């Protein structure tokens, strides 16, 4: 049932012109729909393939309504230590931290206050549970303003 939907969403997301101004809203909505399938119909998909593909599309930035939904979904998956979202040996954590940093740097445009607070709590949990070298390496790949914001968040 989901293979046809996934195929059509993939066609929209992977289209060479997907991120052009005329198509970006459709792209953001396709990413959001893919996220909903990942969140609510995990048993009907190859989650080990689909969830990382969805993660690679984030953050979305143009459809502000869908951005708030999608980034809330991501936060929920990370909060429950979702195996597919974290990846084998937590290999997707740097991508997740990068997404959180970008979303948090955009104020309330890309996430609700509630989701932003949840992201901060997740980042603080990472700070307490992950090796310092891992976080330092992850932070070093962020934009300078993102690094400053996360350092500020994690020092309070």
What's the farthest any 2 CA atoms get from each other in the chain? Answer: 47
List Cβ neighbours of 72 (8 Å cut-off, separation of 6 or more).
111, 112, 114, 115, 118
Q: What is the pLDDT of residue 2?
A: 80
Q: What is the pLDDT of residue 59?
A: 98
Burial 65-75 (b: 16+ CB within 10 A, else e): ebbbbbbbbbb
pTM of structure = 0.94
DSSP states along 17-49: TTTSTTTHHHHHHHHHHHHHHHHH-GGGS-HHH
> Which positions of the chain have pLDDT values less than 50?
none
């Amino acid at each position: 049932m989901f293979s046809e939907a996934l195929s059509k969403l993939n066609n929209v997301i992977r289209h060479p012109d997907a991120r052009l101004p005329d198509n970006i809203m459709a792209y953001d909505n396709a990413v959001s729909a893919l996220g909903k399938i990942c969140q609510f119909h995990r048993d009907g998909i190859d989650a080990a393939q689909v969830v990382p593909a969805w993660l690679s599309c984030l953050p979305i930035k143009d459809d502000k309504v869908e951005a708030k939904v999608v980034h809330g979904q991501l936060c929920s998956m990370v909060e429950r230590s979702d195996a597919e979202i974290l990846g084998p040996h937590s290999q997707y954590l740097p991508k997740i931290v990068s997404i959180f940093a970008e979303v948090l740097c955009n104020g309330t445009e890309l996430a609700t206050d509630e989701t932003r607070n949840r992201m901060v709590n997740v980042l603080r949990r990472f700070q307490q549970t992950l090796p310092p070298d891992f976080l330092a390496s992850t932070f070093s790949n962020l934009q300078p303003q993102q690094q400053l914001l996360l350092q500020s968040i994690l020092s309070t």
